[in-house]
Amino acid sequence: MSAILVKSRAKNPSLAHRASVDGPSLARRASVNKSIGSLSQLVVRREDFVFRDVGPGRVSVEIAVHNEGEEPTESTMAIVQSAPLGAFVRWRPLSVAQIPALEPGASVAVEFEARRPSVSTLGDPRKIEPQTLLTALDNDDDRQARSAFGTLPADLLELFGRRNLYWAGNLNIFIGARSVERHVAQALRIYPGRVNAAMFLVGEGRDAYSFSLIGVATAWDTALYHWRIPGLEHARDNPPAAFDQWIELHCMEPMLLAMIPPQGCAEGDVQVHVRQKSSGREAVVEFSFDPAAVGPGCYAVA
């Protein structure tokens, strides 16, 4: 290509100027396109996220990255974000990770530690209005946004004095222009024969969402409720949110996943699939429950 441009320069000065401008530009674009093609081979799946508490206030994060292409990939940077447990809520920066060059079929684990924030409990959840919870989360977000990377958002249940064995929340990794998310609360203790409530958030602004449930715990007399009134014990007295139908939300809203595990039940799980109407995208909020788990677990009422 350069030889052709040099030859043209003698015949037409305008082409000489174009060579001096376009030559490096084309080379840069070729490099960028090669880099983008390389990044497209890098794959992260939802189950490739593993995060668990490893000490007081310390959460270990491990994200597996795979090269599923037929060519080696170049070294690149990945951005990791976090958010409170939920779907389609606002992200904030958590960490930046270096992904090394990978041969075809190779994988690497991105590992780092993050901090759980110190939170002030809101008190008895039966007396808390939804807006009080949202205000507490906004205040936490403002405070943490001014701090350095590495601090996670508040755990929703911990805000009500129910600090569990593992931090519950959202993680997201950006590699190039693509992102993969995981939203999970794991190893929550459940109380058989009682109404158990787990919490998550949905949305950031006005939109419509549909919900569906998958998993063993869907057989546990499970329902989903808007948390628009105080008093969790009254959840069963109010109509549950309809599944597989569009539901209008005007802002970020707390939701309650309520269930009654049967006596003698074993551990189980449930996935809440949340679809956003405006984008057509789907997010999955995962819960795992165990009657023998360590910690206070779900909020339970008689």
Dist. CA 2–CA 19, nearest whole Å? 8
Nearest to 281 by CA among 228, 208, 216: 208
- Confirm if 77 and 94 have CB atoms less than 8 A apart: no
First to last CA, the chain: 78
pLDDT at 78: 95
pLDDT at 298: 94
Q: How would you write the pLDDT of the chain (302 residues) with one tens digit per residue?
A: 222 222 222 223 332 333 333 444 434 443 444 444 468 899 999 999 999 999 999 999 999 999 999 999 999 999 999 999 999 999 999 999 999 999 999 999 999 999 999 888 887 777 777 788 888 887 766 665 555 579 999 999 999 889 999 999 999 999 988 899 999 999 999 999 998 999 999 998 899 999 999 998 888 988 898 876 444 555 556 677 888 999 999 989 999 998 999 999 999 999 999 999 999 999 999 999 999 999 999 988 87
Please state, as a whole number, how many other Cβ atoms lie within 10 Å of the Cβ of residue 28. Answer: 10
pLDDT at 133: 84
- Confirm if 282 and 180 have CB atoms less than 8 A apart: no
3-class secondary-structure state, position 239: coil
- Confirm if 165 and 295 have CB atoms less than 8 A apart: yes
Half-sphere exposure of 192 (CA within 13 A, CB side): 11
pLDDT at 242: 82
pTM: 0.82
Burial class (CB in 10 A: 0-12, 13-18, 19+), 66: middle
Half-sphere exposure of 126 (CA within 13 A, CB side): 6
Which structural domains are found in the chain, ordered by start?
42-301 (2.60.40.10)
pLDDT at 75: 94
HEC-encoded secondary structure of 129-186: CHHHHHHHHHHHHHHHHCCCCCECCCCCCHHHCCCCCCCCEEEEEEECCEEEEEEEEE
| Interacting residues of 73 by C-beta distance below 8 A, sequence separation 6+ | 38, 39, 41, 42, 67, 101, 102
Q: Looking at the DSSP assignment, which residues form a beta bridge with residue 64?
A: 109
pLDDT at 23: 43
Nearest to 227 by CA among 95, 55, 86, 35: 86
pLDDT at 7: 24
- Confirm if 283 and 183 have CB atoms less than 8 A apart: yes
Burial class (CB in 10 A: 0-12, 13-18, 19+), 164: buried
| Interacting residues of 145 by C-beta distance below 8 A, sequence separation 6+ | 92
pLDDT at 281: 97
Half-sphere exposure of 158 (CA within 13 A, CB side): 22
pLDDT at 176: 82
